[in-house]
Structures are given as structure tokens and as C-alpha cells.
Amino acid sequence: MRFSVFFFCVVLVGCGSNHSVPINVVTNPSGNWTGMLNSVSAQNSRTIDLFITQSGNSLSAQRVKLGITKALHLCDFNGTMSGTATSGQVTMSLLIPPNPPIPSENMALTGTLQGSTISGSYTETSGCINGDSGTFQLSPVTSVASSQWSGTWSDSFGASGPASANLVEDSSGSVTGTLTIVGTGGCSGLVSGAQNVTGTQTGLAVDLTTIVTVGLQLTVGGLVDASGKQITIGNPCGTVIQNGNYTITLTRPQ
């Protein structure tokens, strides 16, 4: 069973760091989660986003995304998780595989699921910040699934027009649907019309692959806003010559 209540926004990666979300009572941790790893050394603290699947007492996550530390450690960001959940007690083992010259990273988290929060302590047992430890707190994130996204697009050359989206998310966090742009601009032939999109949601992180500019298939990244009412997708123009960007801003009813 997944979360019974969800809300949403996508913002270009790096355009926001607010990881607070509305409170919902959660009895099964399957779904999107976001939070913070609060290190005993403040410069080692970083965000964490993951999509959890529960089967019996077993937990897993095929997608875990860690943020950048203030100390700018040479760490990789994408990994997996395995763990357990028994009577509200949660254990998770995170693995960030090696990405030479960056070594693999292993982290152990132990905590409790109470209300809408998973919280506890963590220790990094190997990796780029080996020996780091602290506390963590995770909160559920709304699904992006909705047929009611509508708004506008604009580019850095002054053009703009209507936009809309219809997105579906399955029990694994995979996202499919359509993204529709009306009109064209100076941003490398921004495609007018409905385009199919595929991708994933991982906590606040959303990655969608679509043909947004003529003949060019792009993966556009974003962040889900906890309010659940707005998506902002942004990406550079399709050619290095133009040195511009476009933004698609969508909203949906509560």
C-alpha cells in the first residue's frame, strides 16, 4: 500500500532546498521520501531522497540520491538501499557504488517510523566521509501523478506560451505521460505539441526524458515542491550556440 495522501512541484535541480512536507500518518513506508542527514560535523550534512518499496518486513530502494555536502566532498550521489521495518523499528543500509576515482560508500541508518516521520541515527562505515555520523529525519513526498497540470513556458529570448502535462506514477516510482507545449520560441526550436515523457520520481527529485527541442531527446531534472501545487521544469537550450534556457511552470488544483 502506498501513501494515501500526497502533494507536488518540480523545480530545476539546485533551485531549492526546503525539505519540509505536509504531515500525514504513514503506516507503510512504501513510496517517496525526503530528508536530511544531519552530521555531527555541520559541513558533512546533506539531503537524502529515495523511493522505498516494502515487501513483508523487507525494505528496498533502487534509487537513493544524496545531496552535496557544504564541505564539497568528492562523493557520488546515486545508490541503493536495503533494510527492514518491524513494529515501527527501521534499519537501512545504503550503498553508493564506486565511480572511479570516487570509492564506494556504505552507510547504516537505524530509527523508528512514527506518524509521518522516519528518524534516528546514521553512521558511514566506508566511503568518501568514512566515520561520519549523526542523525537523520525523513518525511513522505507527494506523487507527481495528475492529469490537471497547466501553466506556461518561457525562454531566455522572451518567447512564451501555454503548457500542460498529464503524468502517471506507478508503484515503483516510474513516471509516464505527456507534456504539451503550445507555440515556438528562440530556444533551439522548442517543440510545439504533445510529447511523451518517461522517467522516475525519487523523493523530491524528478527525472523526465522527452523530446523538448527539435530532434533532441533530453532528460530534464527537477525537484518536487512539498506544497504539491507547482512544477517548474528548466533546461538549457538544445544547442551550445544559443547559450540560453527555457522554463516550464505548471500548477494543479489542491
pLDDT digits (tens, 9 = 90+) for 111-155: 999 988 999 999 999 988 999 999 999 999 888 899 999 999 888
Count of beta carbons in the 10 Å neighbourhood of residue 64? 23
Same fold for the domain at 31-140 and the one at 146-251? yes
* Residues 114 and 138: beta-carbon distance below 8 Å: no
Q: Which amino acid is at 213?
A: T
For the segment 188-242, what is each residue's pLDDT rounded down to a tens digit? 556 778 888 888 989 888 888 775 555 445 566 666 676 667 777 777 765 555 5
Q: Residue 15 is placed in which grid cell?
A: 533551485
pLDDT at 43: 94
Report the alpha-carbon distance of residue 122 to residue 163 in Å, rounded.
43
pLDDT at 86: 93
Residue with cell string 550534512 = 45
CA nearest neighbour of 213 among 187, 240, 179, 182 = 187
| DSSP string across 173-223 | SEEEEEEEE-S--TTT-BPPEEEEEEEEEETTEEEEEEEEETTEEEEEEEE
The C-alpha angle with vertex 29 and arms to 129 and 83, in degrees rounded to 5, equals 45
For all residues of the chain together, what is the average pLDDT? 81
pLDDT at 101: 82
- Which residue pairs, CB below 8 angstroms and at least 24 apart, start in 16-23? 16/223, 16/225, 17/47, 18/225, 18/226, 19/47, 19/139, 19/204, 19/226, 20/139, 20/226, 21/116, 21/139, 21/140, 21/141, 21/142, 21/226, 22/142, 22/226, 22/228, 23/115, 23/116
Q: Which amino acid is at 45?
A: S
Residue 70 pLDDT greater than 80, yes or no:
yes
Which CATH number fits the domain 31-140, given the four candidates 3.40.50.1110, 3.40.50.300, 2.30.110.10, 2.40.128.120?
2.40.128.120
pLDDT at 245: 79
* Domain parsing of the chain, residue ranges: 31-140, 146-251
Give CATH for domain 146-251: 2.40.128
CA nearest neighbour of 13 among 200, 214, 205 = 205
